[in-house]
Amino acid sequence: MNTARKNGSLFTKIEQKIATVEFGHPASNSFPSELLERLTQEIHSLSQNDEVVVIILQSEGKNAFCAGASFDELLAISNSTQGIHFFSGFAQLINAIRVCSKLIIGRVHGKTVGGGVGLAAACDYVMATEKAAIKLTELSIGIGPFVIAPAVERKIGVAGLSELTMAATEWKSAYWAKEKGLYAKVFESDKELDAAVEVLSLNLASYNPEALVELKKILWKGTEHWETLLLERATISGNLVLSDFTKKALAKFKK
């Protein structure tokens, strides 16, 4: 069962040099600002933890992996400062994952929308179940996946990003995501997914940590400008969310 905490929950367990980070929120594991900030700080902290070699990122429950941004907070945004601050939360989280010295395995057990797709795309290696369909709904509510677009494009290319973004009401299957490169492997059940995540994480944890750090640097080479790029994108989204179109669309969508 998902957490009942209004601002969500975040738990970290460290065993055998593996940190398992689990986030949760009663609204389909969506992200209010506080949860974004807490996860960002946790990633930074684990990056500096010598007892950790690899990180597993997962969410609570058996249904959605992540519904993206909190609709309640999006509806409550009343000025550009608030809007930019909210979307900067996603920018800072993706950048924290990008600069983290540890490889991050994404465990995606269910449907993923918007910012959740960006979160999965930012992970270094992602495994999912057949239930893990994806969708970018941003255009349909008057904004766009601007902050997460660089991370998504890095995994599935411009053509994949274009298709996913423009078909804003269409679910793409987990196998589509695998074919495009977002997911490395897709499994029929959570049990199979968990077994594969365990094997990979234990293997990685047994390798030379220095080699893994160097691999992480190579995988993210050429993204150094994201530190400013993603914040610039947050400004675009932060202003668009104030439009009448978006306010009406969000209210309708929430109903």
CATH code at 100?
A: 3.90.226.10
The answer to whether residue 95 is domain-embedded is yes
The answer to whether residue 239 is domain-embedded is yes
Task: Identify the pLDDT of residue 251.
Answer: 79
Domain residue limits at 151: 9-209+222-254
pLDDT in tens, 17-54: 999 999 999 999 999 999 999 999 999 999 999 999 99
Q: What is the largest CA-CA distance in the chain?
A: 53
The answer to whether residue 4 is domain-embedded is no
Task: Identify the pLDDT of residue 254.
Answer: 66
The answer to whether residue 216 is domain-embedded is no
Phi then psi for residue 106, to 5 deg, are: -95, 130
The answer to whether residue 131 is domain-embedded is yes
The answer to whether residue 135 is domain-embedded is yes
Provide the whole-model pTM: 0.95
The answer to whether residue 215 is domain-embedded is no
Task: Identify the pLDDT of residue 158.
Answer: 98
Which residues of the chain have a pLDDT value below 70? 1-4, 254-255
Per the structure, the count of domains in the chain is: 1
The answer to whether residue 2 is domain-embedded is no
Residues 6+ apart with CB under 8 A from 165: 136, 138, 139, 144, 145, 149
Q: What angle do CA 233, 234, 236 make, to 5 degrees?
A: 65
Task: Identify the pLDDT of residue 46.
Answer: 98
Burial class from Cβ neighbours inside 10 Å (0-12, 13-18, 19+) for residue 27 reads middle
